[in-house]
């Protein structure tokens, strides 16, 4: 945001909105202030994902959802300016990005979003944000409970195959999540079910999903219950839960998940404490000798209000983001950008 007075004005507006409704927590006085805000969208922001430019990281873009019957995906630059809107989508919910899906013999970067009102996932090429799915791919076929919400993409390291892990508004424990292998048939992206898994407490819903490609794991938020961990590779035929953490400390919903990677195996897991306007931080690698033990490292107050979704990168994007960028959805129809240095400083204080 070039004009600091505009940023302060917007933050004040968000604070007033929060204070008018006693169901929303106000922004904490010591909250981390965003480095920039995106332009406001027409309806309701929900989830962002970061696409890294292959040759010039400063030209990387943020893809975010506008969750409405007449919604869509939006591409933003690193200043928060809208670069493009996708074709209209029927209530897109979450979005994730992967690199190098083979389409018509060409490696293509993709953004995949859930389209709730059509019970489909939608696949777009990047950075042009053009649909390559022939109108969408139905998910949870044959199920009474469909309504897709969460999505995360896993790229298997050995063969670079890409898989989409899809969640829904509600579903049965043990097969709440479905995993789809993505591929290309001619110029069109396709998907086939390869796995059904995932325990569910029944308390609320499972929306936020994140994949750690290097560690080969899936994390997802069973809202108001905890954060569950599974192996990501469907070829392992292993549907056992390998960790459950974050069962305490949340005001209500544990929501968006982002993984900051310091090395191939170390870093942080950040989870939105949605109704408290904070992020809970856990060690990506667990504790020494036990990678499935996740003690809370810090709780960081941010300027987000009721954050649903977040993403983070440690890649040097230049400018304010030399050590990475943390982006999070906030009420007010915007996404907030944070220099990673601001987040790291709060972690180091704890």
pLDDT in tens, 323-338: 999 999 999 999 999 9
Q: What confidence score (pLDDT) does residue 1 get? A: 45
Least Cα distance to 222 among 189, 174, 262 occurs for: 174
Outline where DSSP puts E strands in 33-89. 36-37, 45-51, 61-66, 72-76, 82-85
Q: What confidence score (pLDDT) does residue 6 get? A: 38
Q: Does 13 score more than 50 pLDDT? A: no
335, 328 in Cβ contact below 8 A? Answer: yes
Task: Please tell me the pTM assigned to this model.
Answer: 0.93
Q: What confidence score (pLDDT) does residue 185 get? A: 80
Query: pLDDT band for position 22 (50/70/90)?
Result: low
Q: What confidence score (pLDDT) does residue 319 get? A: 97
Rounded Cα distance, 330 and 224, in Å: 20
| Residue in the structure block whose two tokens are 């044959």 | 142
Sorted by where each begins, the domain ranges of the chain are 4-349
In this prediction, residues 166-194 reach a mean pLDDT of 96
Provide the mean pLDDT of the chain: 94
Rounded Cα distance, 319 and 79, in Å: 10
Rounded Cα distance, 239 and 223, in Å: 20
Query: pLDDT band for position 3 (50/70/90)?
Result: very low
pLDDT more than 70, % of the chain: 93
Q: 4-349: which CATH topology?
A: Neuraminidase (2.120.10)
67-124 residue pLDDT tens: 999 999 999 999 999 999 999 999 999 999 999 999 988 999 999 999 999 999 999 9
Q: What confidence score (pLDDT) does residue 149 get? A: 97
In this prediction, residues 181-208 reach a mean pLDDT of 95
Least Cα distance to 279 among 293, 295, 300, 251 occurs for: 300
pLDDT more than 90, % of the chain: 91
Query: pLDDT band for position 47 (50/70/90)?
Result: very high
């Amino acid at each position: 945001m070039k004009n600091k007075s505009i940023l302060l004005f917007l933050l004040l507006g968000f604070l007033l909105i929060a204070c008018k409704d006693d169901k929303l927590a106000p922004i904490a006085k010591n909250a981390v202030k965003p480095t920039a805000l995106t332009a406001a969208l027409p309806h309701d922001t929900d989830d962002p994902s970061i696409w890294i430019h292959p040759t010039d990281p400063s030209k990387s873009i943020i893809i975010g959802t506008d969750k409405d019957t007449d919604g869509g995906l939006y591409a933003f630059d690193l200043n928060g300016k809208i670069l493009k809107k996708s074709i209209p989508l029927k209530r897109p919910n979450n979005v994730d990005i992967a690199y190098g899906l083979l389409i018509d013999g060409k490696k293509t970067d993709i953004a995949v979003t859930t389209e709730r009102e059509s019970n489909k996932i939608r696949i777009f090429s990047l950075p042009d944000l053009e649909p390559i799915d022939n109108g969408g791919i139905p998910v949870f076929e044959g199920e009474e409970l469909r309504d897709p919400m969460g999505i995360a993409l896993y790229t298997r390291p050995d063969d670079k195959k890409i898989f989409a892990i899809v969640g829904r508004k509600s579903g049965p424990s043990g097969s709440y999540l479905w995993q789809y292998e993505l591929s290309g048939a001619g110029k069109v992206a396709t998907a086939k079910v390869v796995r059904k898994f995932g325990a569910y407490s029944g308390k609320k819903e499972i929306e936020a999903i994140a994949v750690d490609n290097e560690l080969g794991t899936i994390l997802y938020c069973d809202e108001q219950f905890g954060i569950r961990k599974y192996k990501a590779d469907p070829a392992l035929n292993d549907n056992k839960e390998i960790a459950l953490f974050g069962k305490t400390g949340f005001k209500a919903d544990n929501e968006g998940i982002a993984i900051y990677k310091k090395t191939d195996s170390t870093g942080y897991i950040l989870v939105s404490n949605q109704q408290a306007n904070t992020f809970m931080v856990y060690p990506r690698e667990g504790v020494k000798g036990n990678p499935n033990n996740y003690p809370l490292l810090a709780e960081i107050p941010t300027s987000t209000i009721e954050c649903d979704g977040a993403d983070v990168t440690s890649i040097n994007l230049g400018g304010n983001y030399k050590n990475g960028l943390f982006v999070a959805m906030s009420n007010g129809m915007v996404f907030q950008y944070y220099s990673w240095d601001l987040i790291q400083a709060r972690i180091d204080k704890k």
